[in-house]
Chains A and B, each alone.
Chain A
């Protein structure tokens, strides 16, 4: 009856051979293609360093002014602008300005990349339903796979630092923008599409002039989620040497510096709220515009 209580697993020796073979080939890959892979990612690394240097080197009043201007442009509300400026000043007063800028630059670059990759993928997912179902499974894997599982191979290939951290953040933050782009396009009223067909729109015209503009509020919600996910990954990314607020949190956890942890945690929350309010207010304004159009 032994086979009933004990699952008939594959022979451990076979499993071990498989594990060793895969690990060995990864190591072989590092040895023979490491340089090439690194060169491939070199432009990305330079872009990341450029963004980081640009944001870190910008004098703080200008950063606050730019953020306030963006907040005003997006939300047209003095309350939002005041909230954004107040949060950034608080972060600066706590002595976390430099680290916060490193984090902001990582989140900003990975969000931009996620949008650049995610928007077209979302459109494709909507257009080709079968491929969409496959992609949906892939997105599930990306969202639930524990990051360290793929981080360590990435570190072995690329070393520690910005690029592997960036890859981890993008993998984690990409799914919402893809899913919500797809959803937004699907939610466009049938009647509107029929009208577009009646006017003789081509497929591309329909997409760019009808579906995407009407899906914009949902897509904005997706971008908002992407930013939140990217900020959530900041601490994990710091475990492979990405500098910024995440590293402080990690240090605080390991040393039981409770207050340092709270300060840095709230700084991350503060940045999240700033991004969230700006992107949501923008999404809402888009929606308002639409409802006006309907009246």
Chain B
């Protein structure tokens, strides 16, 4: 707060242009690639186009959202999936401590259980999670090939809770499967890469848009979805009697802490209101990142230079000029 006051005082004294009262802000970035790309693009455009001083704070989903709710920092989460955040977000939003200020990905994000394309091609009859659960022999567990395995996502993610509940509902244990915790996103991706390169079968909880899915085509298994049941049990970790309930495409939104939403520069809020990606656009950026082993900052620069048709729709013409000049 002190910093904000100071910079506000500084801009009052020196008056540095049209968007001068933008000031300091912090953008949360999560460990997966699309969040990294989007947060960095936001930072690039805000800093160069609006004269903000946006910094990027790395963290894991739930801790970051909790910090936004409890401490009002970081100010913005560029890309969040409320349906996967569960109670943390619901209670925060109900108390008005956190709110949506824009859409992140217009066609949303989708999680699911994925199987490699080569298995899907060889066994076209496998379409749904139930189909897959009938064939433990096709998806050997990493450490015990006599059983089938379902690779879980990072510990603490909403998807991981849903995977565990879905597994419980399908009664995987009695069908010859076991649930394999991967611990972290990096380990999950390592495990998928390993299995794919060796052309082994696997079932993994994963999500789109991701560059790994572009690189290693996988088929998303299907399943039924019920909203009420989802809220009652599927997304609740300790719920004892889950039913078979599957992900539906989740909206990806931009969140802001209450303080920020109240006091921010209207031009900045307008930017977040207009800024919205599609899955295809994000995938394109992520593919470039993977191919070039680039980080988020490089990706932002590349995106500004190479995909102007996307982002120039988000900002006024004079801002677009400044952003374009900065990317040269």
- Residues of A bordering B, CB below 8 Å: 16, 19-20, 23, 27, 30-31, 34-35, 45, 49, 148, 151-152, 155-163, 238-243, 247, 250-251, 253-256
Contacts and interface: CB of A to CB of B under 8 A. Distances in A.
Q: How large is the interface on B (under 10, 10 to 19, 20 to 34, 35 or more residues)?
A: 20 to 34
Contacts of A31: 197-198
Contacts of A256: 62-63, 66, 88
Contacts of A242: 183
27 contacts: A16-B292, A30-B193, A30-B197, A151-B186, A151-B187, A152-B186, A155-B191, A156-B193, A157-B194, A160-B151, A160-B190, A160-B191, A161-B143, A163-B143, A239-B186, A239-B187, A240-B182, A240-B183, A241-B187, A247-B155, A250-B156, A250-B183, A253-B63, A254-B60, A254-B62, A254-B154, A254-B155
Contacts of B60: 253-254
Contacts of A49: 143
Given A160-B187, A239-B187, A253 B194 contact: no
Contacts of A27: 193, 197
A20 B290 CA distance: 10
A162 B144 CA distance: 11
Contacts of A20: 293
Interface of B: 60-63, 66, 88, 142-143, 151, 154-157, 180-184, 186-188, 190-191, 193-195, 197-198, 237, 292-293
Contacts, number: 102
A110 B183 CA distance: 20
B180 A160 contact: yes
B180 A241 contact: yes
Contact of B184 (A16, A239, A243, A255): A239
Contacts of B198: 30-31, 34-35
A242 B142 CA distance: 12
Given A16-B292, A240-B190, A254-B155, 11 more contacts: A34-B198, A45-B143, A49-B143, A155-B186, A156-B190, A161-B143, A239-B183, A240-B183, A241-B180, A241-B187, A251-B156
A241 B183 contact: yes
A136 B258 CA distance: 54
Given A239-B187, A241-B181, A254 B63 contact: yes
Contacts of B193: 27, 30, 156
